[in-house]
Amino acid sequence: MRLRNKVALITGGANGIGFATAKRFDEEGAKVILTDLNANAVKEAASQLKQAEPHVMNVTDRASIQAVVDEVIAKHQHIDILINNAGITQDARLVKMTEQQFDEVIDVNLKGVFNCTQIIVPHMLEAKKGSIINASSVVGLYGNFGQTNYSASKFGVIGFTKTWAREFGQKGIRVNAVCPGFIATEMVKAMPEDILQGIEKRSWMSRLGSPEEIANVYLFLASDESSYVNGVTIEASGGISL
């Protein structure tokens, strides 16, 4: 088991890529700290895993994060892996986007990553080891129509990744980012069929990705198999950008 005795905290873990990652980590022996805003959803998700602990946590509320981290450290003494997965969308063209739409996406997708990492990384520094994995997006590499706020947040996450890789690499902590393409989560599958078909045609693999395929990338970066991988951005998009 590649993650035996590791403690992994996953934000936005109740469904989609977050839950697929939790399930994969659980299979590989990790103690999964599953966090989400939705109390019922996170409890239900954790009940499907062998050794997962559900926690209600808001990545925009530092007190909420601190309370969860304090509880985890008191119980397990360490957090080895942080998956900054939580994210939202509030799409609109620039001329139609409200300030509230912009602020909410930046607050969750960008500042939420800052909040969680700043609160958790001191424990990794004390242990002199850790793996931090930030969820970016192909939109964070190439932009996307109607996603000024989301694109900015995901570009910013890549900036975090490269900066923190420099700051913490010599301390035994690796920081990397993953840029999923269009993945068959419930949110994406709810899109109109003609749009889904258009997305599939843009991919050189002619299909959407699965949450499990992204979870496998997270697993590689979280495990010791990637022990010399630091500061990279891995695009997992089926070649949609080619």
Q: Measuring CA to CA, how many Å separate 74 from each of 22, 78, 93, 123, 189?
A: 21, 9, 46, 12, 40
Task: Specify the pLDDT at position 191.
Answer: 66
Structural contact between residues 229 and 223, judged by C-beta atoms closer than 8 angstroms: no
11 part of a folded domain: yes
Residue 191 inside a domain? The answer is no
Q: Is residue 214 part of a domain?
A: yes
Active site residue 142: no
Kindly tell me the burial class for residue 29, based on how many C-beta atoms sit within 10 Å of its own C-beta (0-12, 13-18, 19 or more): middle
Q: How many domains does the chain have?
A: 1
Q: Is residue 159 part of a domain?
A: yes
Residue 190 lies in a domain: no
Residues 6+ positions from 1 with CB-CB distance below 8 Å? 27, 28, 29
Residue 188 lies in a domain: no
Residue 105 lies in a domain: yes
What pLDDT is recorded for position 163? 98
Range of 14's domain? Answer: 7-182+210-235
Distance CA 55, CA 195 (A): 35
Contact call for residues 210 and 183 (beta carbons, < 8 A) = yes
Q: Which of 142, 150, 218, 228 is catalytic?
A: 150
The pLDDT of residue 102 is 98
DSSP H helices, the chain, are 16-27, 39-47, 62-76, 99-106, 112-127, 139-142, 148-168, 186-189, 193-202, 211-222
pLDDT of residue 186: 75
Q: What CATH number has the domain bearing residue 156?
A: 3.40.50.720
Q: What share of the chain is helix, strand, coil (3-state, %, to 5)?
A: 50, 15, 35
Classify residue 40: in a domain, yes or no: yes
The pLDDT profile of the chain, 242 residues, written as one tens digit per residue, is 999 999 999 999 999 999 999 999 999 999 999 999 999 999 999 999 999 999 999 999 999 999 999 999 999 999 999 999 999 999 999 999 999 999 999 999 999 999 999 999 999 999 999 999 999 999 999 998 899 999 999 999 999 999 999 999 999 999 999 999 989 887 676 667 776 777 777 778 888 899 999 999 999 999 999 999 999 999 999 988 88
